[in-house]
Amino acid sequence: MSLNGPMQVLVTGAGGFVGNHLVRRLKAVLPADGQLVLADRHAGSNANLPNCKSIHLDITNADEVNRVLQSERPTHIVHLAAVAAVTAANRDVRLTWNVNFSGTQNIALAISEFLPECRLLHCSSAEVYGASFKSNTALDEMALLQPVNPYGAAKATADIMLGQMALSGLRVLRLRPFNHTGPGQNTQFVIPAFAAQIAKIERGEQEPVIRVGDLRSRRDFLDVQDVVDAYAEALLRFDDLPNGAAINLASGDARAIQEALDILVALSRVKIDVAIDPALLRPNDTPVMLGNAARARNLLGWAPTRSWNTMLESVLNYWRRQP
């Protein structure tokens, strides 16, 4: 790594679901003299971690982004902060664009102006491909970006912007993870939504019925630990990778939502029925999302290693532990 001094890694959205997992991973793999700056709208969410500095950062405030980057002077930024759920994005489209596109633009422009040597690892999403999934093939990074919801549209626009800025000298990588889950993810996402209901039913806090949306959809699911492994590897090998590269993170195996529910119900300690709730059916839902991660294997030596069943059980056990 061609750095004159130690790594100083700033993580936006450090207090979120993926952020919490990534911070623990980076603590394990960064060089001994590396430093972590944990930036979040709720400063202090990771303040109990040793050798980590926790700061407030609202990425939608360009002046605040400029001040923070000039003050902290990171060598690397992992940009996670986002409106992360499609359902939340649909509810507040203006906020989604303000955070997922304008917030990313604020960071990229601040780097260009004040820290041109800083490396930016942008955490994008497979939702950028949208209607391209209608091909029913495993999409690689050359697939057309055709988002079908506000979340995917804002992520795709940010992704394209960063690709253009890379041509002008911005040091950036764009990672596009497919659906990922694990302990700590909230119930705006399908697997935690199922697991949380099962845990409530087991505690007698809900009638023994799980309410669900469309179970026919198939998704390329990853364990969050595999995703943060890829982020950490890309960060450590940043200078060896093609600048501006887009890199899919995917398993190459699309699993039906029905299969996830069946496994979770089989793990439950009580008998549970399933009921379709029309309110949970998404407009413009994509029947199949499947990715080709050959580039991640070639560039990062990465492939997912956590098992599907273990991932599902870890989410259920997390919700069993919640009050």
Q: What is the pLDDT of residues 6-17, one digit of tens each?
A: 999 999 999 999
Q: Tell me what pLDDT residue 258 has.
A: 94
pLDDT single digits (tens) 262-289: 999 999 999 999 988 887 776 657 899 9
Q: Tell me what pLDDT residue 198 has.
A: 96
Q: Tell me what pLDDT residue 279 has.
A: 76
Long-range contacts of 37-40 (CB under 8 A, 24+ apart): 37/8, 37/9, 37/10, 37/11, 37/72, 37/74, 38/11, 38/14, 39/10, 39/11, 39/12, 39/13, 39/14, 39/68, 39/81, 40/12, 40/13, 40/14, 40/15, 40/16, 40/81
Q: Kindly state the average pLDDT of the residues 148-166.
A: 98
- Among 68-77, 193-202, 210-219, where is mean pLDDT lowest? 210-219
Q: Kindly state the average pLDDT of the residues 115-134.
A: 98
- Residue 107 CB coordination number (10 Å): 26
Give the highest mean pLDDT range of 35-44, 50-59, 164-173: 164-173
Q: Tell me what pLDDT residue 1 has.
A: 41
Q: Tell me what pLDDT residue 214 has.
A: 83
- Residue 142 CB coordination number (10 Å): 8
Q: Tell me what pLDDT residue 43 has.
A: 59
The answer to whether residue 180 scores a pLDDT higher than 70 is yes
The answer to whether residue 51 scores a pLDDT higher than 80 is no
The domains of the chain, with CATH numbers, are 8-181+222-253+290-305 (3.40.50.720), 190-217+254-288+314-321 (3.90.25.10)
Over pLDDT 90: what percentage of the chain? 87
pTM over 0.75: yes
Q: Tell me what pLDDT residue 5 has.
A: 78
DSSP H helices in the chain: 17-29, 62-72, 86-91, 93-97, 104-114, 150-167, 190-202, 224-236, 257-267, 294-300, 308-321
Q: Tell me what pLDDT residue 45 has.
A: 53
Name the band, by pLDDT with cuts 50, 70 and 90, for residue 236.
Answer: very high
- Average pLDDT of the chain is 94
